[in-house]
Homo-oligomer: A and B are copies of this chain.
Amino acid sequence: MNESLPTGDGSGGAQPRFDMPLEEAMTTQRAIRRLRTDPVDDALLLRLIELALKAPTGSNAQNWEFVVVRDRAIKEKFGRLNGGAWGIYGRIGRWLSRNDPAMQRVLAAVQWQADHFADIPVLIVPCLRGPRLPWPPLAATSYYGSIYPSVQNLLLAARAAGLGAALITLPLWSTVLARRALGLPWSVTPCAVIPLGWPRGRYGPTTRRPVAEVVHWDRFGNRRATA
């Protein structure tokens, strides 16, 4: 078992634990795209998904399915899907960010991920069962609001375990081809892809817009607390 993996009993054993303080997990979470090829343990993957299942779903329907992909042929299919979309999207991104060195570094990491897609140890594909109604907005937000809280649990738990992870959607540009690669029935929709593995190198903290810029008190544009 990888030495980065926290095991509560010190036995290097079966039941990984996630004792990292919540605030530390959240403030050190970031997309980690350069991954080693070392395998990731089944028990750890199952525990990550078990914690993902603690997240809320609309009407508590728990209509989620998680496909864990380690088969190289399927990873290659997703690599081709990702590469096709990235070929277009990446070119636009590089042009738009040609004067932004920080974004250029992000794009270089995404390029690395695209070039090594089939070598990523595990892809987790969170899916939802049931009809995806694009309209009204209430249906769409309730739908995706039933999977992304679990995705965030999974990403935070991966962070606490020392695993590298990222949240991507590009390989799903064709839901027809993504469904076919995973043998998903029409009633099950793939929503995201999470490449997982032990990180290469070290990763620092992220930067974010200051909270005062995104908070509005009572009405949009009101920057001062009124209570």
User: Which residues of A does B touch, CB under 8 Å?
Assistant: 17-23, 25-27, 29, 31, 39, 42, 46, 49-51, 53-56, 58-60, 62, 64-71, 74, 93, 103, 106, 132, 134-138, 140-145, 147-149, 151-153, 155-157, 160, 166-167, 169-170, 172-173, 175, 182-185, 188-189, 191-192, 206, 208-209, 211, 214-221, 225-227
Interface of A is mostly: mixed
- Residues of B within 8 Å of A103, CB to CB, are 60
- Residues of B within 8 Å of A27, CB to CB, are 51, 54
- Decide if A226 touches B70 in the complex (CB within 8 Å): yes
Known: A144-B144, A211-B49, A219-B183. Contact between A23 and B29, CB under 8 A?
A: no
- Decide if B68 touches A216 in the complex (CB within 8 Å): yes
Q: A22's contact among B19, B42, B147, B166, by CB below 8 Å, is which?
A: B19
- 10 closest A-B pairs by beta carbon, nearest first, are A148-B148, A144-B144, A134-B134, A149-B152, A152-B152, A18-B23, A183-B219, A71-B218, A50-B211, A183-B220
